[in-house]
Structure 1
Amino acid sequence: MLFSSIVFLYYFLPCVLLLYFISPKRMKNLVLLSASLFFYWWGEPKYVLLMIFTILLGYGHGILIDKFRGDKASKVFLISSVSTSIMLLGFFKYADFFIKNTNALFSSSLSLLNLALPIGISFYTFQTLSYTIDVYRGDAKVIKNPINLATYVALFPQLIAGPIVRYTTIEEALNHRTHSLDDFAYGAFRFVVGLAKKVLIANALGELCEIFLDSGEKSVLFFWVYAIAFSLHIYFDFSGYSDMAIGLGRIFGFHYLENFNYPYVSKSVTEFWRRWHMSLSTWFRDYIYIPMGGNRVKVSRWLFNIIVVWMLTGFWHGAEWNFIVWGLFFALFLIIEKLWIGKYLEKAPSVLSRFYVLLLVAVSFVIFNADGMKEAITYISAMFGTQGYPLITAETLYYLRSYAVIIGIAVIGSTPFIKNSVQLLQQYHAARRILNTVEPVVMVALLLVITAYLVDGSFNPFLYFRF
């Protein structure tokens, strides 16, 4: 069930809101858990059992880690928690990848398992791991009530697409959260904004990307249009879902951390990854990079740490070599910045440093979305005119004109220009009153337009189902 669907917007969500707010306080987590399990069952009937099994493993390991705190057994149960979680993730997500590469390497003929990827498994696995690791570290209290842990892991607002929520972020809210009209209003506003980003912008850009992939008259310019369109598409798709998750969380009394902070205004790759998918970046930093020694080790070891973390970051996104190369691509430029060009980027004109980041990001997402490394190399070389494609074609100009407005809106929307303009106007009393009056009208109008698009259109993909 997609957030950007009629079933979710006009059937599931209203029913859940009604049941939730008429329920007594002691029942609210159970209502949310039941709704979340139904939400997951709607899309993955058989794999809901896998998620419940993962939750039970996390619950049992947390109890045992806490019970034997201070003994070696506590570490044994931590290792068991990490191992079983990674094994489950590896089996369902990566088994065929390893089988295919084993067949290619040893000329064997092992049969592929052809397992369907459980939706959101990468997200809820990482959330379960963060809980047991934090309990072992003493950063979080063990959960004695299994309903609370299940609610944390399965909570439908962030279940299928994140952000990756640490247990420590919502630990207090699971037991003692408050609700207010202000939170409800902000949550609804944030949800509609995210929905608009997904349906009105990301979907349109996704259509342009599909047109390019199906085109028989590609040109050098069209390859660049595709690279830019996909970079904007994935940003608005994923940040839109993060906005919707944050908004829904706020409605139910949870304050999730931000997941995106205008990454396309970054002046370095290092800054880009402080702004893009921040919950994933900080998860790898806190649970893998720092425990490996971070940057407080010899240079050779630090380079190894960077390479391992970014290889895993890429692999987390998908079980194909292009995802691993995508992660290593960023590792390379992070190392280059740290060792050589970082200080020059800080002093360089903003236009140049931002162009450098946008160029690398555009190239990286061509790798990310390619159907294997052969296609990625072909597309990137075509962008630089080495594949014999014409510079421009009539078809390229037609689609560029057709999508120019939406690309322009996306470019502006990917910067803090609108946010800063609104904040500037809010400093004036008269403007603030107008904005407060206009905002709900605009939100209702947006929701009506979005509904019309969903009823009329069929192109409504979700990129992060593959993760």
Structure 2
Amino acid sequence: MVFASLEFLLLFLPAFMLVYALGRPAWRNTILLIGSWLFYGWLSPLFLALHMVLTVIAWGGGLVVDRAREGSSRRMRWLVGLIVLNTAVLCWYKYANILALTANELMSAYGAMPFEWQRVALPAGLSFIVLQAISYLVDVHRHTVPVERSFINYATYISMFGHSIAGPIIRYDWVRRELNQRQFNWTLFSLGARRFMIGMSMKVLVADTLSPLVDVAFHLPQPSLVDAWIGCLAYSLQLFFDFAGYSAMAIGLGLMLGFHFPENFNRPYLARSIQDFWRRWHLSLSSWLRDYLYIGLGGNRHGVWNTYRNLFLTMVIAGLWHGGDSWNYLLWGAAHGIALCVDRAWAHSSLPAIPRPLAHVLTLLFVCLAWTLFRSPDFHTALSMYAGQFGLHGIGLGDAMAVTLRPAHGMAAVLGLLCIVAPLLQRRTEQRWAQARWFVTGAAVWPVAGFLLSFALIASRETVPFLYFQF
């Protein structure tokens, strides 16, 4: 069950919101926790069991860390042990399959008999839940937040179905006060519903519509230049609108329940550098990597070369966090790490600044080329796509892509591009037309219209899972 599904929209969400609205304020955390566990149980009973175990361990571990004497080795051992345990669980589900596959390939290459392997399924949202648990434990250790003594409150924080499947990555400090006391009223509900509808429109009207083009392009054995770039650009739009759409839906659900989650995107495809891109893309992950990994490695405190090393290692680990079925994620992270180092070195050198339009183009070009590696199921596919992007497999539109292309794909791409550039005109437009009746009416109506059209499409075609569910 995903947000963009009939089961969620017609069954789960209305029933849950009715119970949540009718319940007493003192019961709402419990209602939210039970609803979240039912949501996970619907996805997978085994995942629900794992989720509950990790929740108990992190909550109890936080209490133990808090009770241990400040500065004692026992306190640090508990913290490190809990982090290692959470990381080990994540690594098992992320990398058991690819390690087994790699081992079998090596054994076959040397004439040994490969072993049988039962594929391990990655529980949805595990990557996000583990990062939230680690941030909570570290913050308790640092006294950034007080330890949460209520299991219901902690479990509600870590389990909220609105965000824990694919982000934003919420820190305990951001919702601590609202866990204990929050508003639940029509104003917040209507704002949240509007945001949810906008996110649904982004997901269904743009991301899901472009999905067939991406699938075709990345399955072509020798894509032409046109095929490869259609696939690359379509995936760049698909990934952004899928993930940003989910984040908008999660933020909307949070508002409907009385929580204020942070924004997760800030016009990333308008970035002027790779550093700027990571200040705009997946903000909750970027800030997590900065505060709990980059700074922990030393940040920029120990000289230039150590700073570059820390930047590179941070992005490599970010790639590993995304990965699972392919080593391409590791390479993608390394590519971004190198780009960040080059970007920083250029900014701190005496070289002239790159003109803004060219900086936009170069940044977007690098990001899109890196997405090719990110999307490819294996390194061979990535090489084939790169060869196609440089015209080594021919130039014209291939038969498979020509058969797949529909006017709806062009409309989705245009809609996506308009949404990307719209913020550039938003402030001027609002100042000029804020009092115009047609503008006010349009601003109120278009999310509803987009949601209704999205609902009709969901009812008429197969549900496309959110891309970040696999991470």
Same fold per TM (> 0.5)? yes
What is the Cα deviation at residue 21 of structure 1? 1.2
- Of 450, 457, 461, which aligns to 2:465? 461
CA offset at residue 381 of structure 1?
1.8
Residues in 1 aligned to 2:283 and 2:470: alpha-carbon distance in whole angstroms: 19
Q: Which string of whole-angstrom CA distances, capped at 9 and with x for unpartnered residues, describes residues 335-376 of structure 1?
A: 111113676898333221111011111111110011211211
Percent of aligned pairs with the same amino acid: 34
Aligned pairs for 1:87-236 (under 5 A) are: 87-104=88-105, 109-214=114-219, 218-236=223-241
Aligned mates of 1:327, 1:430 — CA distance in 2: 43
Determine if the alignment matches structure 1 residue 325 to structure 2 residue 331: yes
**1:356 aligned to 2:356?**
no
Q: Deviations over 1:111-146 (max 9, x none)?
A: 434111111100001111111110000001111110
Name the CA shift for 1:128/1:432 in 2 (closer, same or farther; >3 Å). Answer: farther
CA distance in 1, matches of 2:309, 2:429: 48
Q: Is the contact between residue 209 and residue 229 of structure 1 (CA under 8 Å) also seen in structure 2? A: yes
Shift of 1:429: 7.4
CA gap of 1:128–1:377, structure 2 versus 1, over 3 A, is: same
Map residues 15-94 of structure 1 onto 2, 5 A cutoff.
Answer: 15-70=15-70, 71-94=72-95
| 113 and 75 in structure 1: CA distance in 2 versus 1, 3 angstrom threshold | farther
Could you say what secondary structure the match of 2:120 adopts? coil
Aligned mates of 2:281, 2:17 — CA distance in 1: 31
User: For the structure 1 residues 303 and 29, does the alpha-carbon distance in structure 2 shift closer, same or farther, using more than 3 Å as the test?
Assistant: same
CA-to-aligned-CA distance 1:168-215 (integer Å, 9 cap, x gap): 111111111112332222111110000000011100111221233455
**412, 430, 443: which one pairs with 2:447?**
443
How many Å separate the matches in 2 of 1:213 and 1:316?
A: 22
Q: Mean Cα displacement is larger for which, 451-460 or 420-429?
A: 420-429
Shift in alpha-carbon separation, 1:110–1:406, aligned structure 2, 3 A:
same
AA at the equivalent of 1:455:
A
Give the drift of 1:420. Answer: 5.0
The 3-state SS of whatever aligns with 1:461 is coil
Deviations 1:200-250 (A, max 9, x none): 110011122123345588421111111100011000000000000011101
User: What TM-score does the superposition give when structure 1 sets the normalisation length?
Assistant: 0.94
1:242-265 deviation digits (Å, cap 9, x = unpaired):
000011101111111111111000
State how far apart, in whole Å, the 1-side matches of 2:406 and 2:353 are.
37
Q: Say which is worse superposed, 40-49 or 419-428, in terms of deviation.
A: 419-428
Between stretches 102-111 and 71-80, larger displacement belongs to 102-111
Q: Secondary structure at the match of 1:46?
A: helix
Q: Is the Cα–Cα contact under 8 Å of residues 123 and 160 in structure 1 kept in the other structure? A: yes
Classify the secondary structure of the residue corresponding to 1:157.
coil
Q: Which amino acid aligns with 1:236?
A: F
Per-residue deviation, residues 401-451 of structure 1 (Å, max 9, x unmatched): 733222122112123x2x454443433576355444344433332222111
Give the Cα–Cα distance (whole angstroms) in 2 for the partners of residues 166 and 421 of structure 1.
33
What does 1:388-407 align with in structure 2 at a 5 Å threshold?
Answer: 388-393=393-398, 402=407, 403-407=409-413
Change in Cα spacing, 1:430 to 1:298, as seen in structure 2 (3 Å) is closer
Letter paired with 1:25: P
> Please, which moves more after superposition, 368-377 or 228-237?
368-377
Aligned residue identity for 2:291: D
AA aligned opposite 1:338? R
Q: Aligned pair 1:11/2:17, yes or no?
A: no
| Cα distance between partner residues in 1 of 2:350 and 2:280 | 21
Provide closer, same or farther for how the CA distance between residues 393 and 125 of structure 1 changes in structure 2, counting only shifts above 3 A: closer
Change over 3 Å in CA distance of 1:36–1:401 after alignment to 2: closer
Structure 1 residues 337, 422: CA separation in 2 closer, same or farther (over 3 Å shift)?
closer
Moved more, 227-236 or 437-446: 437-446
Question: Contact 2:188 / 2:256 at 8 angstroms: preserved in 1?
Answer: yes
Report the CA distance between 1:89 and its aligned residue: 1.0
Match of residue 408, structure 1, among 414, 417, 425 = 414
The letter for the 2-side match of 1:26 is A
Q: Bigger shift: 390-399 or 431-440?
A: 390-399
TM-score (norm 2): 0.93
1:431 counterpart (424, 432, 435): 435
Instruction: Tell whether the 8 Å contact from 2:148 to 2:154 is kept in structure 1 after alignment.
Output: yes
What amino acid sits opposite 1:92 in the alignment?
A: Y
Distance 1:436 1:83, change over 3 A: same
Q: 1:345 to 1:228 in 2, by over 3 A?
A: farther
Structure 1 residues 19 and 300, CA gap change in structure 2 (3 angstroms):
same
Structure 1 residue ranges without an equivalent (≥5): none
- The answer to whether the 8 A contact 2:221-2:384 is kept is no
For 1:92 and 1:18, how far apart are their aligned partners in 2? 36
Query: How far apart, CA to CA, are the structure 2 residues paired with 1:77 and 1:341?
Result: 41
Residue correspondences, number: 464
Corresponding letter in the other structure for 2:158? V
Give distance in 2, aligned partners of 1:316 and 1:161.
13
Cα distance change on mapping 1:152 and 1:381 into 2, 3 Å: same
Match of 2:375 in 1: 369
Specify the code of the residue in structure 1 equivalent to 2:2.
L
**SS of structure 1 residue aligned to 2:296:** coil
Where 2:435 maps in the other structure, the secondary structure is helix
CA distance in structure 2 between the partners assigned to 1:223 and 1:271 by the alignment = 26
